[in-house]
Amino acid sequence: MTVVFDSGIWISAIQFGGTPLEAVVEASGRNRFAVCDQIEEGNVRVLTRKFRWEAERVRADLAFYWQHALRVELQGTVAGVCRDPKDEPILECAERGKAKRIVTGDRDLLSLDTYCGIRIITAREYVERSSRLP
């Protein structure tokens, strides 16, 4: 199954650990990540500006998890779907990557519940559901 984790989940996982990291580790063993330049750049921007990471370190940490990821090129075709237009690249990445899940803590995305048949869930929900799968 292909999944999209938004930048907030990646940043929380890398910077703080906890449930977001648990979800990332769980997904690494079971699923394939779909990622795009916008997710990568969001991670780099926040981790370098807010947490003072070196950009190379951010990219190296992401590369560890993304070594088998599906790189999706966005075309800006999703518009007017989400309350926050900045979240629409996540939706397009999931759609183009044929993802089954979007994992996020973003309330604007979570309020959608689904998009084009793609379930939108929290990291905690992802971990709890994954533990019930064979």
Query: Which pLDDT score, from 0 to 100, does residue 130 have?
Result: 80
Give the residue numbers spanning the domain of 120: 2-130
Domains in the chain: how many in total? 1
Which residue type, as a one-letter code, is found at position 17?
A: G
Q: Identify the CATH number of the domain in which residue 18 sits.
A: 3.40.50.1010
Q: How far apart are CA 22 and CA 38, in angstroms?
A: 23
Q: What is the mean pLDDT of the chain?
A: 95
φ and ψ at residue 44, rounded to 5 degrees: -60, -45
DSSP-derived letter for residue 86 is G
Residue 132: pLDDT band with limits 50, 70, 90: low
Query: Which pLDDT score, from 0 to 100, does residue 133 have?
Result: 54
* Sheet of strand 101-103, all strands in order from the earlier edge strand to the far edge: 70-71, 32-35, 2-5, 101-103, 118-121, 114-115
pLDDT exceeds 50 at position 122: yes
**In angstroms, what CA-CA distances link 47 with 40, 82, 109, 123?**
11, 25, 21, 19
Closest CA to 102 of 30, 1, 13, 25: 1
Model confidence pLDDT, tens digit, residues 70-121? 999 999 999 999 999 999 999 999 999 999 999 999 999 999 999 999 999 9
How much is the pTM?
A: 0.94
CA 74 to chain centre: 15
Q: How far apart are CA 2 and CA 103, in angstroms?
A: 11
For strand 118-121 and strand 70-71, is the pairing parallel, antiparallel, or unpaired?
A: unpaired
